[in-house]
Structure 1
Amino acid sequence: MRWIWIDRIVEIEKGERCVTIKNVSAAEEVLHDHFEATADHSAMPILPNTLIIEGMAQTAGIMVGHAADFKEKVLLAKITKATFTKPVTPGYTIRYTAHMENFGKSGASTKGTVELLDPATGDAKTIGEISLMFSHIDHNMAGLEFPDHNFVFTGMFIDLLKRSGVEIADDAVV
C-alpha cells in the first residue's frame, strides 16, 4: 500500500512552486509509536521526521511532474538537506512549500520549507527546511525496461490532484 502524506494541494505554479497541507491527526497510528509513556513521562505522540520528508518529497515530486505535464516518471534521487527545529504533534497542520531550483531533461532539484500551523491562533512557524533532487528515470536509466504506466503518479495521487483542482493532460503517463 502506498501512503500519501499530504491531504491537499493548496497552490501550484507550473515549474515554480507547490504548496500543500497535511493535517496531523491523533487517529494516525504511526504517531503513537513516538514516544510511548513511561514511568518518568507521559506519552508524546509525534510525526517522525522521515514522514515529514516524505510529505515534502510528495509535494516537490508533484511540482516536478506537473512541470512536465506528468509525462515523465519522477523518482526521488537524493535528500540533500533536511533540518528540523521542532517536533510535529497531533492537532496541528503542516504546510509544505516547495520551490523549483533547477529543471531539465534528466531531473530537477527543489528546495522547500515546512511550516507548522497552530489551529488555535492561525500562526505559522517554520520548523524545517528540505532540499531534494529528482530523477526522470526514463532518461537517466536508458536501456532498462520500465512499465509504460507511471508507477509514481498512481491513482491515489491522480485523485489527490483532481480533488485539488489540478488539471491533467489526456496524454499524461498515468
Structure 2
Amino acid sequence: MRWFWVDRFTEFVASSHAVGHKGVALSDNFMHDHWDAYPTMPHSLMAEGMAQTGGLLVSEIYEFKELVVLAKFSKLVFHGITRGGETITYRAQIDNLRDVGAVVLVTGHVGDELRAEGEIFFARLQKGGDTGEMRSADMPMRLFDPKDLAHWLHLVGIFEVGVKQDGTRMRAQDYGLPLEMAGK
C-alpha cells in the first residue's frame, strides 16, 4: 500500500472494534490539490481512512492471511469539512460477520464533531471449489508481503494496543508475521 490514511491506533479489539487517528497537516500535498484557496481534507481520503481502519479490523479476523477487499460503501455521509491542524478519529465496529466477508460501521470525528459516517462491506476472496485455487487466476493470495504488513502494523501501533477477545495482547508471531519491523 502506498498511502496510509491512519497514523496510529489507540484501540484495537480483535473481531470487535478499532480506533485510529489521522493528523491532517496544512503541509500535506493533497490539501492544496483539492481547493487551492481553501485547503481541506478531501472527503474521498477520509473515506479511505475509514476503509483502512475497518479493513485491518476485518483482516485480523482472518489472521491477516486471507485476501480481504473493500467491496462497497453501503452508506457514506459527510457532515462538514476537515482543515489542516485537525485530527480525525476513525472508529470502526464489526456489525455483521459472514462467511463471505463483513459489514463494518465506521465514523470519522474531529473532537466531538461527527464529520463522516458509513457502512462498508469487505469481501473475503475465498479459495474456490475442491481445487483450492482462487476464483480468478489473476488474484493474489495476499495483497501485502508479510514483512511489509508487519512493518505497517508495528508503525501504526496495532501490537502496542491490540487485544484479542479474551483480553490477551495481540502479538505479531500469533499471525505468522515477522517479529521485528522490516526496514528499520
- TM category (shorter chain) comes to 0.7 to 0.9
1:65 aligns with 2:68: no
Q: What is the identity, as a one-letter code, of the residue corresponding to 1:126?
A: L
5+ residue gaps in structure 2?
Answer: 160-170, 178-184
Contact 1:9 1:161 in 2 (8 A): no
Q: Within 5 Å, which residues of 2 pair with 1:86-97?
A: 86-97=80-91
Report runs of 4+ in structure 1 exceeding 6 Å deviation: none
Aligned partners of 1:81 and 1:73: how far apart in 2? 23
Deviates more, 1:152-161 or 1:132-141: 152-161
Query: What secondary structure sits across from 1:71 in the alignment?
Result: coil
| 1:85 positional shift | 1.1
2:77 aligned partner? 83
Aligned residue in 1 for 2:140: 147
| Aligned pairs, number | 159
Matching residue of 2:152: 160
SS of 1:89's equivalent in the other structure is: coil
* Aligned-residue offset at 1:33: 1.9
Separation in 1, partners of 2:33, 2:97: 38
Compute the displacement of 1:70 (Å).
Answer: 0.9
Matched letter for residue 135 of structure 1:
A
Q: Which amino acid aligns with 1:138?
A: Q
Gaps of 5+ in 1: 37-42, 118-123
| Mapping for residues 1-174 of structure 1, pairs under 5 Å | 2-36=2-36, 43-117=37-111, 124-139=112-127, 142-145=134-137, 146-148=139-141, 150-152=142-144, 156-163=148-155, 164-166=157-159, 167-168=171-172, 169-171=174-176
Label 1:17 to 1:132 Cα distance change in 2 as closer, same or farther (>3 A): same
Q: Percent identity?
A: 30
TM-score normalized by structure 2? 0.78
Q: CA deviation at 1:112?
A: 1.2
AA aligned opposite 1:74: V
Per-residue CA deviations over 1:17-48 (Å, capped at 9, x if unaligned) read: 01100000111111112212xxxxxx210111
1:153 positional shift: 7.2
How far apart are the structure 2 equivalents of 1:51 and 1:155? 25
Q: Judging changes above 3 Å, is the alpha-carbon distance between structure 1 residues 78 and 158 closer, same or farther for their aligned structure 2 residues?
A: same
TM value normalised by structure 1: 0.82
Cα offset, 1:152, TM superposition: 4.9
